[in-house]
Amino acid sequence: MIKDFEHFAPKTLKEALALLAKYGDDCKVICGGQSLLILMRQGLVDPKYIIDIKGISELNYIKDDKDGLKIGATTTHRAIEKSPVIRKKYPVLAEMETRLASIQTRNWGTIGGNVCHGDPAGDPVPVLIALNATLSMAGTKGTRSMPVENFCLDYFEIALEPGELLTEIKLPVPPPRTGTVYTKFNVIESDLATVSVAVSLTLGSGDGVCQNVRIALGAVAPTAIRAKKAEKVLKGKKITEALLTQAGEVAATETEPISDIYASEEYRLELVKVLVPRMTKEAMARAKKA
Ligand SMILES: Cc1cc2nc3c(=O)[nH]c(=O)nc-3n(C[C@H](O)[C@H](O)[C@H](O)COP(=O)(O)OP(=O)(O)OC[C@H]3O[C@@H](n4cnc5c(N)ncnc54)[C@H](O)[C@@H]3O)c2cc1C
């Protein structure tokens, strides 16, 4: 049962930040409520004041220019999935969204809310890590930004300071000959990942050598992680089946999976060993066509 709370619906970022500063630890930000309301219903979170940022239109946008893509924090999953520019230039983002929950949840849930929920099994963060995204935050003291891979600190813990809001997600323009792919293994379609893998791979011009690669894993550690040792196995080399197998095995050593109702620790490790080579191959095939 959700306890009574006072609800504010600011229309500007400035108003929202002032409310956050005023109510401090007694308040909680809500956007789509797809994650927060579950926690409130379970009695895990019990705010006296709710700052509802869903109506702040200045945070709801998808912009594409020569510097890359910018997505406002209150943009819904469904808007990202349907965006023509994202489908054309960052197709992996739209593909990821089609696997996230149901259309109903995607219609109301937001990318900013998802990232700030800090669930290690969430879909967007591994993809954003693979795409080398940067997050922007605003507070009454000013703005700052950080790579998305530094944002999640522990299970459901993120690097926002008190009084701050996530405002924007920025993606750089992918280098030429880059392919990015994402998959999640889950038991029930539209459910959270049992294990997820995102790979972004850039090929050298004409030589087929892996110039750069970013491998991100979800649901195998307290946060989504980058498998940097596995990336090292591949970077600067012509990719062979043996190297792919090695990358999968090395990636598994970088994880700390748990056993839960969906899968055992051992099963998750096996999934990493299988999915990392498979998705790297797919990223390479996409890079060849890019
Ligand atoms: C049935 C169901 C299935 C789901 N399946 C999936 C799935 O398959 N994959 C997946 O990844 N997720 C899934 N989810 C989770 C959910 O869809 C996402 O986490 C959702 O995107 C959260 O966004 P929201 O706007 O609803 O956030 P809210 O619930 O409003 O907020 C979530 C958290 O983020 C904070 N917050 C929100 N916006 C900001 C901001 N701009 N700045 C600072 N803090 C902020 C809130 O205070 C809260 O702590 C599912 C949820 C449901 C209900």
**Nearest atom within ligand 1 for CA of residue 192:** 8
Residue 36 has a pLDDT of 96
Instruction: Find the 112 Cα to ligand 1 centroid distance in Å.
Output: 8
**Nearest atom within ligand 1 for CA of residue 106:** 17
Per-residue pLDDT tens digits for 94-108: 999 999 999 999 999
Hey, whose CA ends up nearest to atom 25 of ligand 1? Answer: 32
Return the sign of the alpha-carbon dihedral for residues 115, 62, 88, 178.
Answer: negative
Q: Is the CB of 186 under 6 A from ligand 1?
A: no
182 close to 149: Cβ distance less than 8 angstroms? no
DSSP SS3 for 214: strand
Identify which of 8, 31, 129 to mutate to test ligand 1's pocket (most ligand atoms within 8 A of the CB).
31
Mean pLDDT estimate for the chain = 96
Nearest to 217 by CA among 191, 178, 244, 185: 185
**CA pair distance 254, 230, nearest whole angstrom:** 8
Instruction: Find the 206 Cα to ligand 1 centroid distance in Å.
Output: 42
Average pLDDT score over residue span 234-262: 97
Question: What does 99-139 look like in DSSP terms, one character per residue?
Answer: TSS-HHHHHH-BHHHHHHHT-TT-SHHHHHHHTT-EEEEEE
Evaluate if pTM is beyond 0.95. yes
Per-residue pLDDT tens digits for 129-185: 999 999 999 998 899 999 999 999 999 999 999 999 999 999 999 999 999 999 999
98 close to 104: Cβ distance less than 8 angstroms? no
Q: Is the CB of 97 under 6 A from ligand 1?
A: no
Decide the pairing of beta strands 152-154 and 157-158: antiparallel
**Nearest atom within ligand 1 for CA of residue 77:** 21
Instruction: Find the 155 Cα to ligand 1 centroid distance in Å.
Output: 14
Give, in order, the Cα–Cα distances in Å from 93 to each of 53, 81, 97, 122, 127.
Answer: 23, 7, 6, 13, 7
Q: Is the CB of 16 under 6 A from ligand 1?
A: no
Residue 38 has a pLDDT of 94
**Nearest atom within ligand 1 for CA of residue 121:** 11
Per-residue pLDDT tens digits for 183-238: 999 988 878 999 999 999 999 987 789 999 999 999 999 999 999 999 999 999 99
**CA pair distance 199, 64, nearest whole angstrom:** 22
The yes-or-no verdict on residue 290 having pLDDT over 80 is: yes
Instruction: Find the 53 Cα to ligand 1 centroid distance in Å.
Output: 13
Share of the chain above pLDDT 90, in %: 95
**CA pair distance 45, 28, nearest whole angstrom:** 9
Residue 205 has a pLDDT of 87
The yes-or-no verdict on residue 63 having pLDDT over 90 is: yes
**Nearest atom within ligand 1 for CA of residue 122:** 11
Backbone phi and psi for residue 96, each to the nearest 5 degrees, phi listed first: -60, -45
Instruction: Find the 56 Cα to ligand 1 centroid distance in Å.
Output: 17
